[in-house]
Homo-oligomer: A and B are copies of this chain.
């Protein structure tokens, strides 16, 4: 396997090296690479299913507001690990779509109080359904038990790294 044989050429005397498609062990061994591959796969799937860009961030922001109630933009960013700047962009989209409302905070007028609208809550539920379908595709080969194991392990890692790791913190 150390030569650069053309495997499939017109002159192929070889039976069929079958074009090894497997990654090298040095990569397959690295959790960071595996995580990246799967994150990429998820992102591609979401991009195919929900054509519109930024859907993930939209969902994240809506979920935060639905669970924690009206928040300032730094709070939102802090909970999601989203940059202050990107929170503003997401809220521009959601605001245009009528999914959130931004009002200056009466007690500290530097802040905006961001609120989910009913339309936003509906959009959140719809998005969650579509995202759940993606999860199913990503976790396809795993049993329910294994899916829970994996999710639990990932949650522990995320929790551990969540403390003080946000961007522009």
Contacts and interface: CB of A to CB of B under 8 A. Distances in A.
Contact of A24 (B8, B26, B46, B67): B67
A32 interface: yes
Interface residues of A, number: 96
Given A70-B6, A125-B2, A34 B151 contact: yes
Task: Give the oligomeric copy count.
Answer: 2
A56 interface: yes
The interface residues of chain A, by DSSP majority, are classed as: helix
Interface in A25-63: 25-46, 56, 59-60, 63
B31 A150 contact: yes
Contact of A139 (B4, B79, B113, B157): B157
Contacts of A156: 141-142
Nearest to A1: B69
Nearest to A120: B4
Given A2-B70, A31-B154, 14 more contacts: A1-B125, A2-B121, A2-B122, A6-B107, A6-B111, A7-B68, A10-B69, A20-B68, A23-B60, A30-B135, A31-B150, A35-B38, A35-B39, A146-B153
